[in-house]
Structure 1
């Protein structure tokens, strides 16, 4: 079962934002926040939530672009929409976005058997996933092809719970130098696990569209599933 819910921000001004929520058939064992790409809570992100619900999780995707264009949905395979997404990313306040993720974590924490909440993000969401691991009380976090994480490594000491990063080696938005910095900064971190995907480009695990690489997506998603099974039980 899926629906749209409204979540209050952590601010005192009474603002709120929408989130897509997918519930499992039975009682949810744990919850997972699905952090959008630059394309909004589109069909691909909703499908990520639906699949997690099929696995027994309560999955929720907050509309993090609500301050810019509430409810925006863009298609990365349509050039004008891709360009619009890049523009929105440039105008997006990431710090406020992480606060909205914390508000989402707070919203779902009491709705499950375990009380545990994980997060998984893609693209911009992969970067926000790393920020979430460092700045919130999330229990476990996964980031797919996160951008600009090298600029966030100064926050790694704040990561108290497990985090996994999926890194395609031919990512057009994350160059080799950035990938190297991520490994140098995180390979020895006791809570971090990094996986490289040789020859793969950004967006390889998207649910729909031209970017998807089926075998690599299934491998990465199987690692994510095992990770959450271990840390959100």
Structure 2
């Protein structure tokens, strides 16, 4: 069952929408699904729906709401891809993490779940790392997060388990960045990194040309086991 939730910002001055998918029975935990640069589109909603089928309450906040509420773009359409890049460049990531914390607070308050995790993709993968360092989330997963090397100074603030999925031929994350991520996090007691040889950015998308079925299923199975261990 899916619905739209209204989430109160941390300062209490505004509300923003979030797509929410609920399991058929009481949720075993909640997971915040953090969008790519394409907004809460059909692929992100499908991620939520699949998590709900697995027994989780899944919620995807519209993090671009301050730019324009309800943005939905298709990465396979060049004009929409370019529009998404513009939105990313204008997006306040620090404020976005605060909206993720507000979403965590919302599900804890309204749905009486004891644990809340997050999973993010692309920009959302970066935000998942930031969420692990800056919020009280219980577990975080990031897929092909961009620019994480520049955030490694925050790694000592990571208190809950973190998993990162890293395609080795990511056109947005070069080899030096990947090496810095491993150097900074391989010995972190809360972090685990998985490399996907020969794969590019977006390999685990639900919809579109970027998906690699075998690798997506492998990464998602690792994510499922990770959340089962740390959230249930």
Computed over aligned residues only, the root mean square deviation of the Cα atoms, in angstroms, reads 0.9
1:71 is matched with which residue?
70
Q: How many residues align?
A: 232
- Separation of aligned partners in 2, 1:70 and 1:206: 22
Greater Cα offset, 104-113 or 114-123? 104-113
Contact 1:118/1:141 (<8 A) preserved: yes
The residue matched to 1:157 in structure 2 has which SS? helix
- Separation of aligned partners in 2, 1:188 and 1:112: 36
Deviation at 1:112, TM superposition (A): 5.2
Does residue 7 in structure 1 map to residue 7 in structure 2? yes
Deviation at 1:170, TM superposition (A): 0.1
Deviation at 1:36, TM superposition (A): 0.1
TM-score (normalizing by structure 1): 0.98
1:109 is matched with which residue?
108
Contact 1:27/1:113 (<8 A) preserved: no
1:226 is matched with which residue?
225
Deviation at 1:45, TM superposition (A): 0.1
Contact 2:19/2:59 (<8 A) preserved: yes
The residue matched to 1:229 in structure 2 has which SS? helix
Deviation at 1:16, TM superposition (A): 1.1
Structure 2 spans left out of the alignment, 5+ residues: none
TM-score (normalizing by structure 2): 0.99
The superposition leaves residues 140-173 of structure 1 with CA deviations (integer Å, 9 ceiling, x where unpaired) of 0000000000000000000000000000000000
1:213 is matched with which residue?
212
Regions of 4+ moved over 3 Å: 110-114
The residue matched to 1:203 in structure 2 has which SS? coil
Deviation at 1:114, TM superposition (A): 5.0
Structure 1 pair 6/114, CA: closer, same or farther in 2 (3 Å)? closer
Structure 1 spans left out of the alignment, 5+ residues: none
